[in-house]
Amino acid sequence: MSGFAMGRHHQIKIEPTRAKNPVYTLKRIAGYLKPFGSRLLLAGLLAIAQTLLAVSAPILIGRAVDILWAFLNGSLILSQAGYSLNRTMLLLFIVYAGSWAASAGSFYIMVIVGQKVLFTLRSQVFGKIESLSLRFFDKQETGDMMSRMTNDTEVINRVLSRGITRFASSILTLAGILIAMLTLNLSLALVSFSILPLMIISTLFFSKRVRRAYRRTRKTIGQVSAELEENISGVRVAQAFSRQRENIAGFREVNKANREANIDAETITAAFSPTLDVLSVIGTALVLGYGGYLALHGLITVGIIVAFLQYVRRFFQPVRAISHIWSNMQSAIAGAERIFELLEDPLFLADADNAKDLSRLEGKIEFKNVFFSYDRDVPVLKGVSLITEPGQTIALVGPTGAGKTTIINLIARFYDAEKGSVLIDGRDVRNVTRRSLRSQMGIVLQDTFLFSDTVMENIRYGRLDADDEAVKDAASLANAHAFIMKLPEAYHTKVMEGGSNLSRGQGQLLSIARAVLADPRILILDEATSSVDTQTEKLIQQALVKLLKGRTSIVAAHRLSTIRRADVILVVKEGMIVERGNHEELLNKQGTYYSIYKSQFRAAK
């Protein structure tokens, strides 16, 4: 660990930003919107109303100009002009007020829909993460999964809450403007539309590059999150080995990749706006030039020119809005791709279609010629066979990396054997439901994980329906009650993240209390006493004597006191069981166990 987080810092690799299938992704997103059809319909109707009202405003402004122009030319007397102008202004006020109300209503509805979809997505992602096998987590960074659950879902939420209605409204506004301009004057409208091909070409040109750029930003922000999570979790190791400078340098490199990805995306997005500005100026010049010509020849009124100028100016507002929303949509599509990629990841350890629940276990465990590897090129178990009778305590002994923990992982079906079979009470673990299997197992690991909750709730995690008295009884049996009562708030003391306000031994006692409360038929202890002081070990050993009684137990350990009590000791070496027997029998053989005993246990004896 001295090279903490250093190996991959300087080899940042961004996956190719090849175009994926946005149509499929959008269909998947649409599936989440389907339950809200009535609300979406109402939001759509409000968007249409807002568009019709907004498009009618320039016509009313042009009419007001014509009324004023007629008055100045003497075509209308003051009273007529005043009445017409007041009525037009009142209509204009109603149009603007109605447009605002429709826009606000549509926005409010979409915010609700967006938050509900966000809730569903995050729930599904969390549920998927909880159901994935350990093989998935062996290769996946925690920070990247956190990024998918937070950052990626948030960009989708932004589009759903604010983007969809604005996008639809902008499209409708463009259509309304086109229809209004064609209705007011066909020839002037066609001249104004001459810039449309340039606008379409530029939009297509930029949108393709924006989607690729934002996919890269979603990838790099996941790497930043992973780097942060790892460095925060390992801050004690980093400080212990004085690796702060190296870790900061490594994070800068990852952060730099994210910065450059965002700069690229924002640069492409920003370049689109000046293009629209130029086209807007050209459109305005065309309206003024050709419209002025038509007005001078009496073919249109000044009010129509004013209305056209309003439409040309407003025409590019929804185009800008569409380009901005389109950029956000590219980011959302990229984020959605990462989310759906996770949701569609196959479950390596899904329950079989015909899997059945296990009834109360007797506790017999059998391995039949089991082979297993985490990496196909590196076998870990090579033809392991063993039988554990109900109520027996089996000790697994061997050097680090021999395969002891792997045997434990296969019993709990955290992984599946590649060859051979693992049987519990004569039934292959692949043919029973994982929940019914693991609910009858208790596992105490070397590295105890404690949740950021009270001591009471950490113990209760072993059996969620247990009352407070049952929790305290379990703590007493685990020899944890005495130290718990000395804590500031006893059982209601909040455990800090990672159990940092407790010693390692205290954490182990809580873990044992959790196992006691679960009352498992099969108990698994993986180096449960290897990192505690002698006094705490005595407390743990006393607790284990009570815990092991009457149940099948698999113990991977180095300490002599635990191993000597085992009914059978299995010596594991290079993925194979090379010796088996009780303590005295193995010592008399003077084989591998004898050598381990001499090197590790003589001082303890």
> What would the 3-class secondary structure string for 10-29 be?
CCCCCCCCCCCCHHHHHHHH
Do residues 582 and 569 lie in contact, with contact meaning Cβ atoms separated by under 8 Å? yes
Where in the chain are all domains bearing CATH 1.20.1560.10? 22-219+265-343
Query: Minimal CA–CA distance to 177: which of 308, 320, 286, 45?
Result: 308
Do residues 106 and 47 lie in contact, with contact meaning Cβ atoms separated by under 8 Å? yes
Q: How many Cα neighbours within 13 Å face the side chain of 346?
A: 2
Do residues 323 and 276 lie in contact, with contact meaning Cβ atoms separated by under 8 Å? yes
Q: Which residue has the tokens 């182990």?
A: 508
Measure the CA–CA gap between 63 and 57, rounded to whole angstroms: 10
pLDDT 10s digits, 3-13? 333 334 333 33
Measure the CA–CA gap between 340 and 121, rounded to whole angstroms: 10
The DSSP H or E segment spanning 99 is helix 78-131
pLDDT 10s digits, 476-513? 887 888 888 888 888 888 888 767 778 777 888 888 88
Q: Look at the pTM and tell me if it is higher than 0.85.
A: no
Where in the chain are all domains bearing CATH 3.40.50.300? 446-519
Find the range with the poorest average confidence among 199-213, 252-266, 288-302, 329-343. 199-213
Measure the CA–CA gap between 431 and 266, rounded to whole angstroms: 52
Question: For position 465, what pLDDT does the model report?
Answer: 86
Question: For position 236, what pLDDT does the model report?
Answer: 59
**Which of 142-151, 201-210, 343-352, 354-363 reaches the highest mean pLDDT?**
354-363
Strand 365-375 and strand 441-445: pairing?
A: unpaired
Do residues 333 and 22 lie in contact, with contact meaning Cβ atoms separated by under 8 Å? yes
CATH architecture of 22-219+265-343: Up-down Bundle (1.20)
Measure the CA–CA gap between 428 and 410, rounded to whole angstroms: 11
CA 494 to chain centre: 27
pLDDT 10s digits, 171-197? 888 888 888 888 888 888 788 777 777
Strand 552-556 and strand 427-428: pairing?
A: unpaired
- For the chain, the C-alpha Rg in angstroms (whole number) is 35
Question: For position 32, what pLDDT does the model report?
Answer: 82
Asked if residue 544 has pLDDT above 80, the reply is: no
Q: In what order do the strands lie in the sheet with 365-375?
A: 378-388, 365-375, 419-424, 427-428
Quick one: what percent of the chain has pLDDT higher than 90? Answer: 1
Q: How many Cα neighbours within 13 Å face the side chain of 46?
A: 21
**How far does the chain reach from its first CA to its final CA, in angstroms?**
32
Measure the CA–CA gap between 55 and 599, rounded to whole angstroms: 88
Measure the CA–CA gap between 470 and 463, rounded to whole angstroms: 10
In this structure, is the dihedral angle defined by the CA atoms of residues 279, 285, 287 and 289, taken in order, positive or negative?
negative
Question: Strand, helix or coil at 362?
Answer: coil
Do residues 121 and 156 lie in contact, with contact meaning Cβ atoms separated by under 8 Å? yes
Indicate the fold that domain 446-519 takes in CATH. Rossmann fold (3.40.50)
Measure the CA–CA gap between 113 and 33, rounded to whole angstroms: 8
Mean pLDDT of 167-172: 80
pLDDT 10s digits, 443-474? 887 777 777 788 888 888 888 888 889 888 88
Strand 365-375 and strand 419-424: pairing?
A: antiparallel
Do residues 597 and 573 lie in contact, with contact meaning Cβ atoms separated by under 8 Å? no
Residue 179 vs residues 109, 184, 560: alpha-carbon distances, Å:
28, 9, 89
Question: Strand, helix or coil at 381?
Answer: strand
| Structure tokens given for 471 | 């929790």
Strand 393-397 and strand 552-556: pairing?
A: parallel
